[in-house]
């Protein structure tokens, strides 16, 4: 490693994702090295260097809800709730767990667990939670 070069069959480059793009221009983190910001720039840099980029998808993320009523339930936590995911009137998944209503939508262990599936389905059309 004295030369600054490392030889290997393959490498995994972790960039921090795109989960919090506001961090890239947020004054409170302006002193943070750009490589540590979650604005997705790491993917652009890696691609510019010729690396193959695997499509990123949301995972372990809260869900934004369009309807305004959800704000009225902000802070409410419920246990043993069944959430079913539908697309084109067909049930795609259904699980039971804990949810938390937030000022923008839903969170909690159950929602975080379902977020990957929801993200994948949103690529092909609207998703309904029941």
DSSP string computed for 61-130 = --EE-SSGGGGGGTT-EEEEEEEEEEETTEEEEEEEEEEEE-SSEEESHHHHHHHHHHHHHHTTS--EE-
Give the count of domains, the chain: 2
Range of the domain at 85: 63-129
Which of 13, 41, 56 delimits the end of a domain?
A: 56
**Residue 43: DSSP 8-state:** H
The verdict on 40 and 81 lying in the same domain is no
CB atoms near residue 65 (< 10 Å): 15
Q: Could you read off the pLDDT of 5-59 as tens digits, one per residue?
A: 888 898 777 766 666 555 444 455 555 555 555 677 778 888 888 888 888 777 8
**What is the per-residue pLDDT for 24?**
47
Ranked by mean pLDDT, the top range of 10-14, 58-62, 67-71, 93-97 is 93-97
Same domain (yes/no): 40, 17: yes
- What order do you get walking across the sheet with 63-64 strand by strand? 63-64, 105-107, 90-101, 77-87, 128-129
Do 46 and 11 reside in the same domain of the chain? Answer: yes
Say if residue 79 is in the same domain as residue 125. Answer: yes
**Does residue 72 sit in the same domain as residue 109?**
yes
pTM of the model: 0.69
Q: Quick one: DSSP state of residue 46?
A: H
Together in a domain, 51 and 96: no
Exposure string over 99-125, b if 16+ CB within 10 A, otherwise e:
bbbbeebbbbebbbbbbeebbebeeee
Question: Are 123 and 102 members of one domain?
Answer: yes
**How large is the average pLDDT for residues 78-103?**
97
Weakest-pLDDT range from 17-26, 69-78, 93-102, 110-119 = 17-26
Question: Are 40 and 75 members of one domain?
Answer: no
Residues 69 and 123 in one domain: yes
- Apex 114 CA angle, 112 and 118, nearest 5: 115
Q: What's residue 25's pLDDT?
A: 45
For residues 61 and 18, is the Cβ–Cβ distance under 8 A?
Answer: no
Q: Residue 129 pLDDT > 70, yes or no?
A: yes
């Amino acid at each position: 490693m004295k030369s600054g070069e490392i030889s290997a069959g393959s490498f995994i480059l972790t960039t921090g994702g795109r989960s919090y793009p506001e961090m890239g221009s947020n004054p409170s983190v302006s002193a943070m090295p750009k490589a540590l910001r979650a604005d997705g720039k790491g993917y652009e840099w890696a691609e510019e260097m010729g690396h193959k980029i695997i499509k990123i998808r949301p995972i372990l993320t809260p869900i934004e809800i369009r309807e305004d009523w959800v704000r009225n339930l902000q802070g409410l936590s419920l246990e043993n709730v069944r959430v079913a995911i539908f697309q084109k009137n067909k049930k795609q998944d259904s699980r039971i767990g804990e949810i938390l209503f937030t000022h923008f939508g839903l969170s909690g262990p159950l929602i975080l667990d379902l977020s990957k599936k929801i993200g994948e389905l949103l690529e092909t059309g609207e998703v309904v939670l029941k």
